[in-house]
């Protein structure tokens, strides 16, 4: 079932808890699908998944429960369309107005269309330590890139964890987290640069991924030629 939800007088959408939803969102500003998922999880969504246009082929018409027919939505150069699906379990009915902030920074999202897909059952308790639900989604291109770039650091850290005492293990974990944070920051900076040059969000992410992967490959090749330890 894909029952279209009508907008409110101010152009927003009212979502009620205990229902599965599909949404077409307009994302404005530099961010990622992972950050949008985390923001929606903090709002009360479970099993939330956001996909960029390059991943929409998996939702082909004719498959069981296909994606509903979407309205035409015009986007600016710094905007991108993202499909989102998930079960909403807020404390009550909530109105999602335009230009809601995404927790990762200055980006915002607006629901352009929404569909009620039927009742949902809460599968697990929401996180209580941070107020956010832990959300993971395998298959994200951005996650794969960051994992690939940081694999050397993680492997070295894993070996050290078995050989070092508890204090050394904590130091290794902290270094690994710092490396991941550095890679993510560099990735976001490259995306912002490509967006400033007129690229779309999806184009900017692909170009940033390619450039970082190419630099990592060159670094590894240089290290192997010199006989250095690869980290």
Q: Over the stretch 145-168, which tens digit does the pLDDT of each residue have? A: 565 556 555 554 555 555 556 667
**Band (132; pLDDT cuts 50, 70, 90):** very low
One domain for residues 157 and 204: yes
One domain for residues 14 and 87: yes
One domain for residues 184 and 98: no
Res. 13: pLDDT tops 70: yes
Residue at 132 is within a domain: no
One domain for residues 110 and 154: no
One domain for residues 12 and 78: yes
One domain for residues 101 and 156: no
Residue 38, domain extent:
3-119
Out of 16-20, 89-93, 104-108, 132-136, which region has the weakest mean confidence (pLDDT)?
132-136
Both tokens of 108, joined, read 């915002």
**Tally of structural domains, the chain:** 2
What is the pLDDT at residue 27? 95
- Read off the pLDDT of each residue in 117-144 and give the average, rounded to a whole number: 58
What is the pLDDT at residue 139? 46
Mean model confidence pLDDT for the chain? 79
pTM above 0.75, yes or no: no
DSSP codes, 46-96: EEEEEE-GGGGGGG-TTSSSPPPPPPP----TTEEEEEEEEEE--SS-EEE
- From the CB of residue 176, how many other CB atoms can be counted at a distance below 10 Å? 19
One domain for residues 113 and 8: yes
One domain for residues 8 and 84: yes
One domain for residues 201 and 153: yes
Residue at 231 is within a domain: no
Measured over the CA atoms of residue 174, residue 210, residue 197 and residue 107, the dihedral's sign is negative
Res. 170: pLDDT tops 60: yes
Residue at 190 is within a domain: yes
One domain for residues 94 and 41: yes
What's the distance, Cα to Cα, between the start and end of the chain in Å?
50
Residue at 125 is within a domain: no
Nearest CA-CA partner of 205 in 86, 73, 51, 59: 51
Give the residues across from 119 on adjacent strands: 19
Tell me if residue 213 falls in helix, strand or coil. helix
One domain for residues 97 and 166: no
Res. 121: pLDDT tops 90: no
Residue at 197 is within a domain: yes
- Read off the pLDDT of each residue in 183-187 and give the average, rounded to a whole number: 82
- Read off the pLDDT of each residue in 3-16 and give the average, rounded to a whole number: 90
Residue at 207 is within a domain: yes
């Amino acid at each position: 079932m894909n029952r279209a939800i009508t907008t409110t007088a101010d152009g927003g959408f009212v979502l009620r808890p205990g229902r599965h939803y599909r949404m077409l969102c307009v994302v404005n500003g530099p961010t990622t699908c992972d950050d949008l998922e985390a923001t929606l999880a903090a709002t009360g969504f479970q099993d939330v998944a956001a996909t960029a246009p390059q991943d929409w082929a998996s939702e082909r018409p004719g498959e069981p429960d296909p994606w509903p027919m979407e309205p035409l939505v015009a986007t600016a150069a710094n905007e991108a369309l993202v499909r989102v699906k998930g079960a909403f379990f807020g404390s009550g009915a909530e109105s999602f107005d335009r230009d809601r902030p995404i927790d990762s920074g200055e980006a915002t999202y607006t629901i352009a269309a929404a569909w009620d897909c039927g009742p949902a059952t809460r599968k697990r308790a929401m996180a209580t330590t941070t107020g956010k639900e832990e959300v993971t989604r395998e298959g994200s291109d951005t996650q794969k890139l960051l994992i690939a770039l940081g694999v050397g650091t993680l492997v070295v850290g894993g070996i050290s964890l078995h050989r070092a005492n508890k204090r050394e293990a904590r130091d290794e974990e902290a270094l690994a987290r710092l490396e991941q944070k550095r890679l993510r920051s560099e990735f976001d900076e490259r995306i912002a640069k490509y967006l400033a040059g007129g690229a779309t969000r999806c184009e900017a992410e692909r170009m940033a991924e390619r450039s970082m992967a190419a630099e990592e490959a060159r670094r590894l090749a240089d290290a192997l030629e010199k006989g250095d330890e690869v980290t």
